[in-house]
Amino acid sequence: MKRFRITSATSIVLIMLCIMYFITYLDRVNVSTAAAGFGKEFSLSNTQIGLVFSAFAYPYLLFQVIGGWVSDRFGARRTLLFCGALWAVATLLTGFAGGLASLLAARVLLGLGEGATFPATTAAMSRWIAKEKRGFAQGITHAAARIGNAVAPGAIVLVMATWGWRESFYICGAISLIWVAVWWLTFTEHPKDHPRITADELATLPSPKPKVASVPWMPLFKRMAPVTIVYFCYGWTLWLFLSWIPQYFLHSYHLDLKKSALFASAVFFAGVVGDTLGGIVTDRLLVRTRSLKWARSRMVSVCMLLTLASLVPLMFTHNLYVSMTCLSAGFFFAEMTIGPMWAIPMDIAPQCSGTASGMMNTGSALAAIISPVLSGFLIDRFGNWELPFVGSMALMAVGVVLAFRMQPESRFETGETQREHAVSHLGV
């Protein structure tokens, strides 16, 4: 087995992507903790705060497919340079907000900047990551995102206590700009062009494929539809957790800001472990069974079922430590689906994986629009902080069934690949 070298070209690229995922989630969930500051300053209701949470998701949804196509067409390097600069500016502007309208505008700009990031990353991985390591790569990058979730509550509380809620956005924006500069210096679109790449590394990577001249939009959309719906089911729970978990511990159990941040971080750290383990498990299942059906679809179905089961006790008890345990277990199993789910677009449509993953992620982006606002409305209307989790359990049950319809073992054929197969069958 080859020794892992942290200074190798592929390792540097993967580390940079992990850092990007960490920063993007730090920039998008810092608002959940900072809401304790700006919500009070601007006299916002829970429903209005939910609107601030979800405003990010409207352009985020719109630019999933567009951003995926842009990254397939123009490359991940340029796409992420532009998007990174945009989301950094949006984060800085959040700190300058003077009320609800300017908060919403800054969050919309953030969604615009981050909309293409994950599809562009998937396009980069399709060239930079070996097929049998794609689950791990997706798992470890999303684990870095969950570290951003876990670090954000405590870090933002610390900054708020020292300076104020506005300064937390200034610091996050500056970190984003630093990443953009380093990405520009370290990433090349094609592995063969990287100054640190070796012949051994190149031999393990997928063979270079020509760009698809035109994306067959409707056939690809139909092919990805079951995957998108399953990811919506997952995304509903994700955005409920990201948006409301810090406030849940703060208000449902009447904790102070520091203690609520500590409990929220514990839940999010469970997701870090789930992301990492899920990526490892899906790759090992693929190596052992040689079946994408088992390594992707069935693994996702089992993990969603375990997520549902973990949340059930919340409906029957109101105990701080039981709630933390159930929420941590639920987030752990939900995040175990990430490795297989984000590997599926590369399995199904390797030549246009950016576009395919963008289609899939519209499911989560749509959930990000609805879930935080509906959850805030339910809390305002009924005063019950556990009620929003009923929707999570129902959608996880839907996901358990629909996961069997994703069929990652069935490759999507573009016009180019169909011609390639015809030529090979003719022996030309």
Tokens 């924006």, residue located: 173
9-426 has which fold? Growth Hormone; Chain: A; (1.20.1250)
Residue 23: how many other CB atoms lie within 10 Å: 26
* Lowest-confidence region among 2-6, 190-194, 201-205: 2-6
In this prediction, residue 32 has a pLDDT band, given cuts at 50, 70 and 90, of confident
In this prediction, residue 14 has a pLDDT band, given cuts at 50, 70 and 90, of very high
| Average pLDDT over every residue of 301-328 | 96
Contact 44, 100 (CB under 8 A): yes
| Residue 286 CA, distance from chain mean position | 22
In this prediction, residue 304 has a pLDDT band, given cuts at 50, 70 and 90, of very high
| Average pLDDT over every residue of 198-220 | 80
The number of residues making up the chain comes to 428
pLDDT tens digits along 381-415: 998 999 999 999 999 999 999 999 999 999 887 65
Contact 258, 157 (CB under 8 A): yes
| Residue 297 CA, distance from chain mean position | 18
In this prediction, residue 426 has a pLDDT band, given cuts at 50, 70 and 90, of very low
Distance CA 31, CA 156 (A): 9
Q: Residue 176's closest CA among 73, 245, 93, 271? A: 93
State residue 212's pLDDT score: 59
Q: Residue 328's closest CA among 313, 346, 343? A: 313
pTM score over 0.85: no
pLDDT at residue 280 tops 90: yes
pLDDT tens digits along 224-239: 999 999 999 999 999 8
Q: Which residues contact 136 (CB under 8 A, 6 or more apart)?
A: 279, 280, 283, 339
pLDDT at residue 421 tops 60: no
In this prediction, residue 423 has a pLDDT band, given cuts at 50, 70 and 90, of very low
Contact 247, 32 (CB under 8 A): yes
349-279-326 Cα angle (round to 5): 120
CA distances from 141 to 6, 323, 339, 375, 394 (A): 15, 27, 9, 28, 28
Distance CA 157, CA 255 (A): 14
pLDDT tens digits along 101-148: 999 999 999 999 998 898 999 889 988 988 888 889 999 998 998 888
Q: Which residues contact 290 (CB under 8 A, 6 or more apart)?
A: none
| Average pLDDT over every residue of 312-326 | 95
Selected residue with higher pLDDT from 333 and 56: 333
Q: Which residues contact 301 (CB under 8 A, 6 or more apart)?
A: 399, 400, 401, 403, 404
Contact 31, 160 (CB under 8 A): no
Structure tokens at 54: 């979800």
pLDDT over 90, % of the chain: 58
State residue 250's pLDDT score: 87
State residue 201's pLDDT score: 87
CA distances from 98 to 104, 125, 129, 165, 272 (A): 11, 40, 44, 12, 34
Mean pLDDT of the chain: 89
Residue type, 298: R
Domain edges within the chain: 9-426
| Average pLDDT over every residue of 255-271 | 87
CA distances from 31 to 52, 152, 157, 192, 292 (A): 8, 9, 11, 40, 38
In this prediction, residue 428 has a pLDDT band, given cuts at 50, 70 and 90, of very low
DSSP 354-373: HHHHHHHHHHHHHHHHHHHH
In this prediction, residue 2 has a pLDDT band, given cuts at 50, 70 and 90, of very low
In this prediction, residue 295 has a pLDDT band, given cuts at 50, 70 and 90, of very high
Selected residue with higher pLDDT from 414 and 306: 306
pLDDT at residue 219 tops 60: yes
pLDDT tens digits along 346-365: 899 988 888 999 999 999 98
| Average pLDDT over every residue of 245-259 | 87
State residue 204's pLDDT score: 86
